[in-house]
Amino acid sequence: MTAPHRLTWRLADASPDRITVHTDWAYPVTPDWAWGGATGRGVRVCIVDSGVESGHPMVGAVQGSYAVEPGPDGVPVVVETEHRDFCGHGTACASVVRSIAPECELFSVRVLGADSAGTGEALVIGLRWAVRQGYEVVNLSLSTSRRQFVDALREVADEAYFNRSLLVASAHNRSLESFPWRFSSVVSVGSHAQEDPALILYNPEPPVEFFAHGLNVPVAWLAGQRIRCSGNSFATPHVAGYSALVLSKHRELTPFQVKNVLFLTAANVRGVAWSMT
Phi/psi at 61 (nearest 5 deg)?
-75, 145
Domain of residue 53, residue span: 2-273
pLDDT at site 275: 36
pLDDT for position 273? 46
H/E run at residue 109: strand 105-110
User: Average pLDDT of each block of 10 consecutive residues along the chain (277 residues)?
Assistant: 63 76 76 97 98 98 97 92 96 98 98 90 98 98 97 98 98 93 98 96 95 98 97 98 98 96 94 44
pLDDT of residue 210: 98
Within 13 Å of residue 262, how many CA atoms lie on the same side as its CB?
32
pLDDT of residue 5: 56
Nearest to 62 by CA among 113, 105, 91, 111: 105
- Looking at the 3D structure of the chain, how many domains does it have? 1
CATH of the domain at 184: 3.40.50.200
